[in-house]
Structure 1
């Protein structure tokens, strides 16, 4: 055995091992006075030097193996949980001006407002409403009175308690016509009263089931805003240095030479009602164009951005529906149900979603965006949409005139000829319009597309109803209140019934859906509305887009509800994390 070439070498190794173990032996002897160790040492003393060395080496290996086994056992039962720390760099198009729940207009405004302010209620990762500043609430049997009790620990980021007076002040300011708040219409006719420091009551003129969703409105600290007039309100320094009760608070703002905000750093609000956020900070970098955000994401200058696809992108349903809406007053042929249906069936929705939208959308046939709560009217399965549409027209008595490039119905004395699609001059709708144009031209109908800037389209085309076929999108609220889009009383401006649709049964269902507080009844009404409107073909519904959110792969805890506005992506931001700890199960956090 070459390890022990001489007696002196063996003795030296033995002495070295003995010396290394001596402190352990002395400690055991002094602490526990174990006589067995004396006997063991005597027995070891009878061994030859080489055998004693082997014994100590084996003993050392046994101890090491035992420790390794204990460590492996510990690792097998430890659980990983989120921990505090880490940051995120987000890219955003535009620059915020009004970080204020009463004036936020742009997506940048809303994003920062959502992070720095909190409402009585908020959104969960599944899109359900959950209490935030509210501890509890009650709804009166008649559905007209909502009473909220505030949390005892609800505080603004400056440490001031949130009281019912702050809630009342916020609503009263929203109702002030001089402020011109986008929230004015939502709160018109609602009476608010601070009953005591923690109790606030809202009284409605009539039952309105979606009202609870309005209470996600961020609450302003009245002690900072009450002496600022409505005229001075938009110019207050608090618009870009807000004090709210949200999960984060503004730490630093960087501006360019013109005064526009270039970046903004937020840090966690440790007094947030739902608990201290896991992330230490979020920094926003603002860019003028989507292309600039995409480039920054690609280069690593930012880590996250919405409406930018990437391998790590998350998706969620957007509460929006897009389609071509007919104006029967502009072109009488659209009064014919078979014409509307044929033109709808001629559109190859799957190809549009795949080629024009990169797969980030859901083909639809009805007015309700998919959210998993109702059954969508299925898209007809057909190998050739053009043949199906042509057969439908032929069966209804229409004959195609190839020379004139139009369809004729002699009995009805009507013709289906050239169609003009009007839409917004934005990349997505331009692309979709070109596909619809191609699909309808396969029916032998000449189709032209007219593009308008968004503001021009709204003001000069949609409001006066100057279109025969309008490719447009409807943004549906979280409660899926479709009244403004499909009730017959909303056919004229400023109503949003751009299909000029009228159906008494649907009118009744729309009214019941917004007044009945029973969720099951409302879902039943919504299902009937989906089925009836889809069967009437007042529009060729095409797709419901997906919301796309690119995030770093190590950012965990991100839950996206159905998205109404991009700011909804921050619904669970207090629970996002990039740092973890391994702990025993009984020590795991319950947050």
Structure 2
């Protein structure tokens, strides 16, 4: 009997007794060559079978997020007030958003979901918001979150002695607790964006209640915070001068929205973007946010990916017609607007990382409220603009190459003014680029640069500028009242164009009271029509938010960004580690 006949016999005969012994006898009867061929065949069959089983198994497996991993991120600035009522810098707000949680949480798509609150309701007249707290909501020290904590936090935010940046959001709002888990807010009039106020982080009353408002800024808990957010403080390192240089945060396993997948976040602080980018290129950190367009060009780390998201900010030039009479001429403001090549400004200043703005709202927000979102990016020619100005009596002075207006019997008026902005590279570049475009039609522009803090205190608050190149942070809700209502012309109002128009005022008030998207659209169209006709400002661009991070961080969703800490809105769902499970079990694991 040949070898193959013997093998066939081995696999096809039915051995009823002493099977193993007979197999052994057959195997021993093989020659050395036959044994070798048999063993190789058996190995190949085994490998093929295992491979087939693995493939079959893989078809029933899915990859899902797993807990673990560390994210190392860099931030420009130094945290001083990791406190939702006192946070003023990006570093403050970044850590506060990770450590603290509010009654609701904003989502990247612009909606709000319950966080510390299990649910909430709004009365039919839009005046009363009622929140029911989750029974399992606790602070990082294990203390339950109660209505007392919510009431305490809001009342401190309202305290003028504390000087909280959140005070204006809560002014005139009555807070009332009912029992241990219910809190009610009563408004004086309907205000549809109010729900955004409920994202404010809640302080643990048992820690802060012994401090007077004037003592809040000096508490150790501003640098060693205890909140109820997705991450809790693990450790903190300081320089020899006692200044925080890094924070280490751990995922909070009792977070109301579930334990975050990424186990640990290390945050390191840098004095400026240059040092931040050096650390990113060196690999000592792996992610950084709010990077400038120029900074992106300096990145050399091949494992870093760039994520862009629209910022809800509008940068523009705001005219102070009260200070500079020449800017009170509408034909002048129109000419200044029409000669600008805004796309060229975006390309030169932002390296294309931005969108042209044509209205008081950021383009991505305006799209939701306006039927007409087309933006004309074509600048008028010098000849056309000069021709229009000439009709109003403006002519080029051959001796000065400056436009002048010479009405009969009145002194000659030169078209000259100053353009003021902050000492930020992009804004300085934008101011000079705009000034050059205006020079082309004979406008004399003096660009003035101020340090950010000095600009706010010495220029913006007293309204001492002719024209101001500045950015307005609009936010998720299209509430433009603070920026454009005539009642907000003086400090602390933010109407830096000192705009006055009764029709526009009424439209802004209607926007605040709107209870539906359609009502908001109608009110915004009325307002935008007035602003477009009056030209109190020139809207330039809305920049992109730029976030550099490693490819290994998955499921990152940014959406619209109001302030840099908004990048963390979806951080509980980010992940690094993964595991494979059977499809039937994947829903249970998630």
TM-score computed with the length of structure 1 as normaliser: 0.89
Tell me how far 1:382 sits from its aligned partner: 2.8
CA contact (8 A) 2:161 2:214 kept: yes
CA contact (8 A) 1:116 1:250 kept: yes
In structure 2, C-alpha distance between the alignment counterparts of 1:559 and 1:524, rounded to whole Å: 31
What residue number does 2:270 align with? 287
In structure 1, C-alpha distance between the alignment counterparts of 2:236 and 2:586, rounded to whole Å: 37
User: 1:258 and 1:56, CA in 2 relative to 1: closer, same or farther beyond 3 A?
Assistant: closer
What residue number does 1:171 align with? 154
User: Match of 2:202, SS?
Assistant: coil
In structure 1, C-alpha distance between the alignment counterparts of 2:195 and 2:128, rounded to whole Å: 11
- Residue 263 in structure 1 maps to residue 263 in structure 2: no
Which 5+ residue runs of structure 2 have no aligned equivalent? none
Show CA shifts across 1:65-84 (max 9, x none). 12212212322442221111
Show CA shifts across 1:251-277 (max 9, x none). 111111111111111111111110011
Tell me how far 1:409 sits from its aligned partner: 5.2
Show CA shifts across 1:533-570 (max 9, x none). 23432111111111111111211121113222111111
What residue number does 2:111 align with? 128
CA contact (8 A) 2:252 2:260 kept: yes
- Residue 585 in structure 1 maps to residue 583 in structure 2: yes
In structure 2, C-alpha distance between the alignment counterparts of 1:457 and 1:489, rounded to whole Å: 22
What residue number does 1:441 align with? 439
CA contact (8 A) 1:326 1:470 kept: yes
Match of 1:344 among 337, 340, 347: 337
In structure 2, C-alpha distance between the alignment counterparts of 1:36 and 1:489, rounded to whole Å: 102
What residue number does 2:399 align with? 403
Larger radius of gyration: 1
What residue number does 1:313 align with? 306
Which 5+ residue runs of structure 1 have no aligned equivalent? 1-6, 26-31
Tell me how far 1:44 sits from its aligned partner: 6.0
What residue number does 2:368 align with? 373
User: 1:524 and 1:44, CA in 2 relative to 1: closer, same or farther beyond 3 A?
Assistant: farther
CA contact (8 A) 1:90 1:304 kept: yes
User: 1:284 and 1:385, CA in 2 relative to 1: closer, same or farther beyond 3 A?
Assistant: farther
What residue number does 1:470 align with? 468
- Residue 538 in structure 1 maps to residue 521 in structure 2: no
Match of 1:102 among 74, 82, 85: 85
* Correspondence list, 1:69-84, <5 A: 69-84=52-67
Tell me how far 1:152 sits from its aligned partner: 2.0
Across the aligned residues of Structure 1 and Structure 2, the Cα RMSD in angstroms comes to: 3.1
In structure 2, C-alpha distance between the alignment counterparts of 1:65 and 1:191, rounded to whole Å: 73
TM-score computed with the length of structure 2 as normaliser: 0.89
What residue number does 1:29 align with? none
In structure 2, C-alpha distance between the alignment counterparts of 1:170 and 1:459, rounded to whole Å: 29
Tell me how far 1:226 sits from its aligned partner: 1.8
What residue number does 2:207 align with? 224
What residue number does 1:248 align with? 231
Aligned length: 569
Show CA shifts across 1:471-492 (max 9, x none). 1111212212101111122223
Tell me how far 1:396 sits from its aligned partner: 5.2
User: Match of 1:251, SS?
Assistant: strand
- Residue 159 in structure 1 maps to residue 142 in structure 2: yes
What residue number does 1:114 align with? 97
User: Match of 1:143, SS?
Assistant: coil
In structure 1, C-alpha distance between the alignment counterparts of 2:27 and 2:89, rounded to whole Å: 85
